[in-house]
Each structure stands twice: as C-alpha cells, then as structure tokens.
C-alpha cells in the first residue's frame, strides 16, 4: 500500500511536468536474468602463531533454501556430517568441531591442520495451483523448473598450543547461506527469480582446560555477508492500478527486473564449555551470539520496455540507486552428549535452539527518496534441530559413523516465500574415518535430506504483495551431500 500511495503522489506531481516518452531506465543492466554466482578465491592459514585466513566459497549453498533451520549452514565438518551433526557439541573428534562448540578445541594438542569440502546437490520443485494479479487476471508462466543447485563448500581449520594450558584455533568457513534459482518467466517471478545469500566467517578461538574434566573457550565470528536477489516487476499491473492503463500496460505482460547486490561486515561471539563428569561421558554446551548485518550496495532496475520506462519517468522511481538491508542472523544454543559404551560403541546426540524470531521481515530501503521501501514479510519463529548418532571402531584405524536428525523450519505454510522455501526435514547419514598414519587422518560422509512438502499461500491481502500478486502452490525439495576432509598433526 505504501508503494501505491507514494507512486500516486509522485505521479500527480510529475504528470504535467514530464512527458510519458519511453526511455531506458538510468543504470539499466544488460546482464541476463540469472544472477552471477561467485567464484572461489584462494586461502592462507596461519603458521608459527600468526593467524590470517580469508576464504570465499565457490558457490552459494542452494540446499539451505530447502532444508530446515532457515538458512543455517551445517557443512563445516565431514566428521559431524557423517553422524547427521550428532556429536557436534561434545564429540571433539577433531578440530573441525570447535566451530560448533569452541571448548572442543582444548581436546587436541600440538599443531593441527584440517582442510575439507562439502559437495551439495539439491533439487526444488513447485506445483502451482493459482497465480493472479491484484486485478484478478491470471499470471502466466511455468513452474520454475528445478530451483536447486550443485555447489562446493570448502573449510579450513588450524590450531596450536599456547603456554599455561591455553590453546588457539582459527577456522574459515561459512555459517549462513541460501540459494534458489527459478527459471525466467515462471509463475512466481514477481516474488523471486534468483535469491542468494552467503556469509564467510573467520573464527579465532581460545580455549583453556583448567582441569582434565573441564574445558572452556570463547571466540569471535568475524563475518562477511553478501546478498544478491533478482525478481520481476509487473509494470503492466502498476500501470492499470495507478495510471488507468494510460501507458498501455497489460497485467503480467509488461515486465521489468530489479537486481539487488549488497554486502557488509559484522562481528559476533561464541562461548562454550565441555565437561566430563565421569569417564566416558562428555556434556557440551555452546552459545553463538546474534549477528546484525547492515548490508549496503546497489539496486539496478530494468524497465523492460516502453511501459516501465514511462512509469519510471512519471514517478521518479524504478531507477538505479543505492540500497540498504538489515539482517539479524539468530543466536543459537546447543547442548550435546557423548557416551562411550562397551564393545567399541559410542552414542552421540545434540539439540539446538535457533532464535529466528529476530527475522520478522526482509526490508530494503533506497537512496532514491522516490523509491518506496520494499518489504518481504517472513514472520519466522524460533526453530529446533535435533540429532542422534552412533560410532563404531571397526579397527585401530577405521571408525564408522551414522546418524539421523530432524531439522525444523522457522516458517509456515501461511508465510513461506519462494526466495526461502524452507521445509521441515529429516537427515540420514553415514560416515567413515580412516587414520592413514598416526598423524594423518581422512573423513568421508554422505547424507540425504528428505524434506516434507510445504505450501506457498501468498496473497494480495497483504499490502506488501499488491504488485506481486496471489501465488498458491505446493513446494518440495531434497538434498544430498558428500563431504571429505584431511587432517594433519605435527
């Protein structure tokens, strides 16, 4: 509704002053409708006590749009992925787990290094039921095709001992990300075409083990975030509603595009404790703080033809401008248990609370005062992730893992949006650790994520959707991952 009011006001102010002559919008891009995906960059690890490491992920993590937990990434450790993330808080199998609970860092010794990657295959499908404009006219288009992707996510970890029982660790990884890629001209194009978000996290951690049965730790999460979105603009409906069809616009037939690209840096923190009350039993507890990102960048509009160009000229909106979006990434609390059993068996389990109530909407404001604020309501609620798993030591050098997890979505059928079609999910996984030598070990993991079908029920009754239209349908998706890592001790 804010868009209608402001465009009506600017139209009345400018109609006599500006001729409705079709023109190309200022800053219009000639790029294709599919947003460019990032290309990975190199990385460096600290040596001899100096720690500087920067990592850029090879592509956005498309599966995070489908699995639960909003867009939390769980691709950091091949050892925990082998048990569906069971053991991430109390397992302490290797230094890759200290990103989940920094206190696990204290269970290592000497100089250690791990490099790994997770290859992810995701699929996403939409079965449309209805799509109409605010005027009741049908929106034509396909079902969006397979909106999933195939991506590779690398991770790097290092650790060294410090005097006095302290230990220093450094990780470079990604903790949040999503990617959904709908085909051009699909039926929900006014809600989303491409949606990408990725964080790159550098985590320095220091741990202390005052007694053998207890370790504590704290660390920073120095986070870089980048978001890219592309969606269509229904200039035909805008023309009919605000200008009475004066510019010849046809609902659903006079499309433009808007592309946003914004980035920012922010810092959070994490705390952890790991206790062993009796031999063979570990209990871990960790807290990761909320991180507030204020992303800034550019919003590029393409008017798509004479109709959009005339509306841009009349209103002063829909021209390229600076954009800002605030994003509150949630705090998390995780509790885990590791229990040794007779016969070379170990049971592990974790439960995690994710404070997604902080993300009520995705809102973008613009440097151009004539461009109304854009809001995508989410109304997310807090969610839970729970996992149980087992380990079995086949031989001195081979360890098998397996696990199952439930991943709850923070959204609902009433609020789900195509940009983040998050679904309740079940994880099933298997993993293997092989000690090549006493100082070199490799981990492998495979997992499948079954996502429950969900509904999209977006309506123009929500004023933010006036020119996005009504969109109803069923959405589904699946994820497979293969993770590997190699670790060294010196």
Per-residue pLDDT of the chain (490 residues; tens, 9 = 90+): 344 434 444 444 443 333 322 333 333 333 333 333 332 333 333 332 233 223 333 333 444 566 667 889 999 999 999 999 999 999 999 999 999 999 999 999 999 999 999 988 888 899 999 999 999 999 999 999 888 777 888 999 999 999 999 999 999 999 998 888 899 999 999 999 998 898 999 999 999 999 989 999 999 999 999 999 999 999 999 999 999 998 999 999 999 999 999 999 999 999 999 999 999 999 999 999 999 999 999 999 999 999 999 999 999 999 999 999 999 999 999 999 999 999 899 999 999 999 999 999 989 999 999 999 999 999 999 999 999 999 999 999 999 999 999 999 999 998 999 988 889 999 999 999 999 999 999 999 999 999 989 999 999 998 889 999 999 999 998 899 999 999 999 9
Residue 279 burial by Cβ neighbours in a 10 Å radius (0-12, 13-18, 19+): exposed
CA 443 to chain centre: 25
Rounded alpha-carbon distances, angstroms, from residue 353 to 87, 96, 290, 411, 421: 16, 21, 13, 15, 20
Residues in the chain: 490
Largest CA-CA distance found in the chain, in angstroms, rounded: 86
286 lies in which domain range? 2-489
- Is the pTM higher than 0.75? yes
User: Phi/psi at 13 (nearest 5 deg)?
Assistant: -75, -30
Concatenated DSSP letters for 292-358?
EEEEEEEEEEE--SHHHHHHHHHHS-SS-EEEEEEEEEPPEEEEEEEEEETTTEEEEEEEEEE-GGG
The helix (run of H) or strand (run of E) holding residue 10 is: helix 2-14
* CA dihedral for 136, 11, 310, 245, sign (positive or negative): positive
Q: How many domains does the chain have?
A: 1
d(CA 195, CA 458) in angstroms, rounded, equals 17
The residues that bridge with 479 in the sheet, in sequence order, are 122, 449
- DSSP secondary structure code for residue 164 in this structure: G
Residue 326 burial by Cβ neighbours in a 10 Å radius (0-12, 13-18, 19+): middle
CATH number at residue 223: 2.40.160.60
Residues 391-418 have pLDDT tens digits of: 999 999 999 999 999 999 999 998 999 9
């Amino acid at each position: 509704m804010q868009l209608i009011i402001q465009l009506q006001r600017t139209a009345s102010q400018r109609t006599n002053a500006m001729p409705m002559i079709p023109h190309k919008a200022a800053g219009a891009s000639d790029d294709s409708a599919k947003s460019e995906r990032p290309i990975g960059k190199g990385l460096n690890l600290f040596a001899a006590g100096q720690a500087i490491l920067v990592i850029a992920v090879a592509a956005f993590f498309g599966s995070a749009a489908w699995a639960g937990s909003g867009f939390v990434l769980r691709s950091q450790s091949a050892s925990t992925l082998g048990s569906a993330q069971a053991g991430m808080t109390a397992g302490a199998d290797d230094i890759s787990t200290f990103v989940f609970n920094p206190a696990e860092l204290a269970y290592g010794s000497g100089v250690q290094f791990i490099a790994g990657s997770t290859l992810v295959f995701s699929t996403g499908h939409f079965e449309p039921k209805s799509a109409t404009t605010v005027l009741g006219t049908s929106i034509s288009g396909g079902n969006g095709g397979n909106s999933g992707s195939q991506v590779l996510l690398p991770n790097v970890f290092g650790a060294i001992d410090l005097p006095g029982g302290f230990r220093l660790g450094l990780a470079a990884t990604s903790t949040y990300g999503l990617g959904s890629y709908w085909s051009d001209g699909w039926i929900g194009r006014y809600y989303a075409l491409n949606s990408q978000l990725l964080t790159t996290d550098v985590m320095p951690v220091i741990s202390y083990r005052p007694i053998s049965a207890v370790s504590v730790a704290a660390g920073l999460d120095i986070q870089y975030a980048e978001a890219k979105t592309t969606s269509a603009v229904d200039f035909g409906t805008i023309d009919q509603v605000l200008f009475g069809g004066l510019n010849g616009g046809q609902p659903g037939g006079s499309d433009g595009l808007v592309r946003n690209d914004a980035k920012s840096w922010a810092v959070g923190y994490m705390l952890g404790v790991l206790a062993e009350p009796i031999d063979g039993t570990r209990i871990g507890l960790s807290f990761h703080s909320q991180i507030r990102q204020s992303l800034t960048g550019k919003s590029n509009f393409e008017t798509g033809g004479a109709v959009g160009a005339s509306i841009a000229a009349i209103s002063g909106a829909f021209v390229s401008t600076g954009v800002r979006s605030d994003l509150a990434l949630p705090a998390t609390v995780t509790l885990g248990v590791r229990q040794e059993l007779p016969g070379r068996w170990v049971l592990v389990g974790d439960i995690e609370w994710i404070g997604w109530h902080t993300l009520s909407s995705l809102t973008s404001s613009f440097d151009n005062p004539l461009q109304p604020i854009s809001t995508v309501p989410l109304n997310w609620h807090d969610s839970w992730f729970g996992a149980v798993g087992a380990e079995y030591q086949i031989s001195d050098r081979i360890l098998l893992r397996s696990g199952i997890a439930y991943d709850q979505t923070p959204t609902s059928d009433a609020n789900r949006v195509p940009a983040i079609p998050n679904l309740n999910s079940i994880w099933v996984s298997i993993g293997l650790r092989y000690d090549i030598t006493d100082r070199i070990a490799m981990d492998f993991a495979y997992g499948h994520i079954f996502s429950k079908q969900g509904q999209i029920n977006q309506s123009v009754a929500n004023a933010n959707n006036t020119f996005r239209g009504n969109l109803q349908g069923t959405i589904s998706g699946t994820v497979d991952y293969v993770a590997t890592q190699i670790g060294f001790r010196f």
